[in-house]
Amino acid sequence: MAGGRNAAIIGTGSVIPPRIVTNKDLEKYIQTSDEWIRERTGIHERRVVEDDIAASDIATQAGLLAMEKAGVSAEDLDLIIVSTVTPDMAFPSTACLVQNNIGAKNAAAFDLEAACSGFSYGMTIAKQFIETGTYTYILVIGVDILSKITNWRDRHTCILFGDGAGAAVLGPVNKGEGILATCLGADGSGGHVLKLPAGGSRMPASHETVEKKLHYIDMDGSEVFKFAVRIMASTTKEVLKKANISLEDIDLLIPHQANIRIIDGAIKRLGIDRDKVFINLHKYGNTSSASIPVALDEAIAEGRVKKGQIIVLAGFGAGLTWGSSVMKWV
């Protein structure tokens, strides 16, 4: 490609487990109500995997769907990046498990951990490899099975999360199209507001850590909330500025699906209408790394993403981390 090349998403896929847990189901074992959850979060139900399903299982399925859409075979893949906070195990990486499952024998593979911002981090890494000509086809997967690290007796967290996997194949396109710009950021000083305390080298698993329920998500919801509204708006502005695109030019904004009030707060700050924003959190809750790629795949299936349109992705997560990208859809 004369004059260099850009990277673009050339195929997507997603997997959402069939088992539905409604707000009414949650009412049976925690002090909550369908009304409270709908009003405070916008979530109606979430999906949860069966006990024998792990991240690599649904990541593999989502990856294969994305490859089929992209028309890219397993042998064509140069790299597999899996973003997850719920890998099958600490090592080998979930990306290596996926590589083996799909038979991508020419692909390097690694996991990255940026929580709900992970898909944006993965896309940004893939973009660099493709633009430099180092690699041609890269599979980026966001997958999380938060149901297995959620305390289903903690009403502050269990109402929010769900399981899922979303994938995208990235490949080369001409300059001026595909991914026009990305922005990543982190603020480790806020790490304590959203964490999984035990199971790492700081606090290895023991009877005591299990008894104290330290292997479950620990979150200061209102601190995450305030950060999220602010950062979703600022990262969107920053990425648009980098690409020299104005807010009015956005055809569709796909935000991290965490809470409808966070999305509304952010788009109010930006001055974007709700009809330009893709929302599916009422069906799936917050699926962490999977949230943005699942939403993107659904938006494409619903005909809301068309060639030539300006599509913006924006997310935030534990770390604290954030990431955004602006694409001219190919």
Backbone angles phi and psi of 140, in degrees to 5: -110, 125
The Cα 26–Cα 287 span in angstroms is 17
Three-state SS for 192?
helix
Q: 205, 65, 80, 66: which is closest to 149 by C-alpha?
A: 205
Could you tell me how far CA 17 lies from the centroid of its own chain?
A: 16
Q: Which span (140-148, 220-228, 233-241, 273-281) binds ligand UT7, by CB under 6 A? A: 220-228
Residue type, position 83, single letter: S
Which parts of 105-144 interact with ligand UT7 (CB under 6 A)?
116
Is 32 a residue that touches ligand UT7 (CB under 6 A)? Answer: yes
Provide the minimum distance between the beta carbon of 151 and ligand UT7 in the complex, in angstroms, as a whole number: 12
Provide the minimum distance between the beta carbon of 319 and ligand UT7 in the complex, in angstroms, as a whole number: 10
Active site residue 244: no
Is 42 a residue that touches ligand UT7 (CB under 6 A)? Answer: no
Q: How far is CA 136 from CA 109, 131, 173, 208, 298, in A?
A: 14, 9, 10, 48, 25
DSSP designation for 6: E
Residues 6+ apart with CB under 8 A from 35: none
Give me the residue whose beta carbon is nearest to ligand UT7. 221
Is 36 a residue that touches ligand UT7 (CB under 6 A)? Answer: yes
* Cβ atoms of residues 196 and 216 within 8 Å: yes
* Residue 38 vs 242, nearer CB to ligand UT7: 38
Q: How far is CA 120 from CA 39, 45, 116, 255, 322, in A?
A: 28, 25, 9, 11, 8
Is 221 a residue that touches ligand UT7 (CB under 6 A)? Answer: yes
Backbone angles phi and psi of 132, in degrees to 5: -80, -10
Is 215 a residue that touches ligand UT7 (CB under 6 A)? Answer: no
Q: How many chain residues are in contact with ligand UT7, going by CB under 6 A?
A: 18
Which parts of 151-180 interact with ligand UT7 (CB under 6 A)?
155-156, 159
Provide the minimum distance between the beta carbon of 219 and ligand UT7 in the complex, in angstroms, as a whole number: 6
* Residue 129 vs 284, nearer CB to ligand UT7: 284
Which parts of 60-99 interact with ligand UT7 (CB under 6 A)?
none
Active site residue 256: yes
Q: Which of 116, 158, 183, 259 is catalytic?
A: 116
Binding mask 246-265 toward ligand UT7 (x if CB under 6 A, else -) reads ------------xx------
Provide the minimum distance between the beta carbon of 188 and ligand UT7 in the complex, in angstroms, as a whole number: 16
Q: 291, 213, 261, 275: which is closest to 37 by C-alpha?
A: 261
List the catalytic residues: 116, 256, 286
- Which residues contact ligand UT7 (rule: CB under 6 A)? 32, 36, 40-41, 116, 155-156, 159, 219, 221-222, 224-225, 228, 258-259, 286, 317
